[in-house]
Structure 1
Amino acid sequence: MKILVVDDEPDVRTLFEQRFRREIRSGEFSFSFAYSGEEALTFLTGHHSEVVLILSDINMPGMSGLELLRHVKHDLIPPPPPLVMMITAYGDTDSYNQAMELGANDFLTKPVDFTALKDKLHAISTA
């Protein structure tokens, strides 16, 4: 399963590669990384059919994760868009409600519980 992680924190790549080492090695999960909403849209334009899931931070400079979500769910061609999980350091109900209204499939808070995230990703990949 191809996953695009969108987060402006550069150390997120190392964190995911460490936490999912076994799944990456076995080929169960493949991660790509974008460090802004704009970079994610550029990546998706060229790899849209490959990406099954987007994990996106909400609070990023430039295009926010919520703006990215709106583009992914409403502007990208061809549909259907991939699954999208939003991640935020602020677990406030406004962000949650806005993400769900825009079509997010899930909402996680930072720090990410990687055990719970692995369980969710395994459930999606075997569904």
Structure 2
Amino acid sequence: MSTYILVVDDEPDVESMFRQHFRRDLRASRFVMEFANSALAALEQVKAIADPSLILILSDINMPGMSGLEMLAQVKTARPNVPVIMITAYGDDGTKRKAAELGAAGLLTKPIDFGLLRQEIDVRLSHAS
């Protein structure tokens, strides 16, 4: 069974940036990274990826249409055991509080600290095995 991480962001360069930072992990098949360019597309993928293989969702907050926070509420209803880490350029206290209230497992600010993110992924992988 493959282990999936879903990355949700409307910026076109995000997928290549994540694939570059995690290329060794992806080549070694430690996990599979799926990408969605909108919250609606992500919700479809959340439904499509079987339990318990989806171990983490990383989502931007500010996206056109449905925001990451609106998506978070729906994801937590559909898949309450899947941790969601929100990503934002604006890490103010109000955003952190709102994300936590909606069930986010954490909040990362841009530019992303990929070392910290790798540690978080390693924790999720150890829980999944």
Normalising by structure 1, report the TM-score: 0.92
- Return the alpha-carbon distance in structure 2 between the equivalents of residues 59 and 4 of structure 1: 17
CA contact (8 A) 1:5 1:32 kept: yes
Out of 57, 64, 67, the residue aligned to residue 64 of structure 1 is 67
| Unaligned 5+ runs, structure 1 | none
Q: Which residue of 1 aligns with 2:8?
A: 6
Deviations 1:38-67 (A, max 9, x none): 010111122142311100000000000000
Give the total of aligned pairs: 124
Deviations 1:58-104 (A, max 9, x none): 00000000000000112x1xx44411000000011111000000000
Q: Which residue of 2 aligns with 1:47?
A: 49
CA contact (8 A) 1:72 1:81 kept: no
Q: RMSD of the alignment, in Å?
A: 1.2
**Mean Cα deviation higher: 47-56 or 34-43:** 47-56
Q: Which residue of 2 aligns with 1:117?
A: 117
1:3 deviates by 0.2
- Percent identity over paired residues: 49
Q: Which runs of 4+ in 1 moved over 3 A?
A: none
| Unaligned 5+ runs, structure 2 | none
